[in-house]
Amino acid sequence: MNQLEQLKQYTTIVADTGDFQSMKAFAPRDATTNPSLILKAVQKDEYKPLLEKAVRDHAGKPTGDVIDRLLVAFGLEILKLVPGRVSTETDARLSFDTQATIDKGRALIALYEAAGIPRERVLIKIASTWEGICAAQVLEKEGIRCNMTLLFALPQAIACADAQVQLISPFVGRIYDWYKKSTGQDYAGADDPGVQSVKRIYQYYRKFGYETEVMGASFRNTSQITELAGCDLLTISPELLQKLSESATPVTRKLSVEDAQAANLQKLALDEKTFRLMLNEDAMGTEKLAEGIRLFCADAVKLEKMVEALR
């Protein structure tokens, strides 16, 4: 078996792309998108018709509504190719507005349901700010499942689990990037700070019986992926899926419930003040969360300009 086939024995594989044609060969169960991936996709000739149709069919709607329909159009195409779930992201500019995030999550689910898709097949992606986590808690109680993204630090993960969200996406590669730049040294294998972060979160969840799924995300190389074999899910770009499928190097399970339950960990109680203080104490987590929101906001603006140029 190649590495991808071996990995599927331990972990659910998710495709991380807006280029849904590219995922066909790898048979992932789920797929994730984000504003940057959708922006990249609609600049390709094969996806421009989706953008043009969204603008044409909803000419009288505000730009934000057109983009919601574009995101859902991509999601609907992806759901034709995967048997599981698609993740669709809320506007990053709402990251510090709980009620607006709740409203956006409800609106996106309504569009999917109007297209005949049950809400169980959709995850609403929300930035892991305190306000975003509070929004997700409300949405989850309504049966709207959430995928908490831009997650870099343990307090974010704990708050998400306490809010009983469906799934979190801790970012491996961006954590690696920060430490590589900060220390001037490279990291590999189990020494990778991004890998260590996800392992710690996975162990915490399984040690204390949380049901929230852990989906490692944002990978830079296949070593980061194989070091997390056994994680609930891993969302992987088509480029890295291809590399995994071309390698026959053995993959062994690195994360397990049994090992997590044996870990020496202390359970933490978080209120808003403790969450903010702990996150503030984590320079990497604070900086990468802020940077990630800025980048997604910038790509949302670019997507708006593309829509407005077609009006």
Looking at 8, 104, 125, 288, which residue is catalytic?
A: 125
Domain count, the chain: 1
Q: Which residues make Cβ contacts (< 8 Å) with residue 16, sequence separation at least 6?
A: 31, 32, 37, 217, 235, 236, 237
Q: Which residues, 6 or more positions from 56, have their beta carbon under 8 angstroms from its beta carbon?
A: none
What's the CATH code of the domain at 173?
3.20.20.70
Can you give the residue range of the structural domain that contains 255? Answer: 3-310
Distance separating the N- and C-terminal Cα atoms of the chain: 50
125 is known as an active-site residue: yes
Contact 3, 249 (CB under 8 A): yes
Q: What is the pLDDT along the chain (311 residues), one digit of tens a residue?
A: 999 999 999 999 999 999 988 898 899 999 999 989 999 999 999 999 999 999 999 999 999 999 999 999 999 999 999 999 999 999 999 999 999 999 999 999 999 999 999 999 999 999 999 999 999 999 999 999 999 999 999 999 999 999 999 999 999 999 999 999 999 999 999 999 999 999 999 999 999 999 999 999 999 999 999 999 999 999 999 999 999 999 999 999 999 999 999 999 999 999 999 999 999 999 999 999 999 999 999 999 999 999 999 98
pTM given for the model: 0.96
Q: Write the DSSP string, 165-210.
A: -SEEEEBHHHHHHHHHHHHS----GGG-HHHHHHHHHHHHHHHTT-
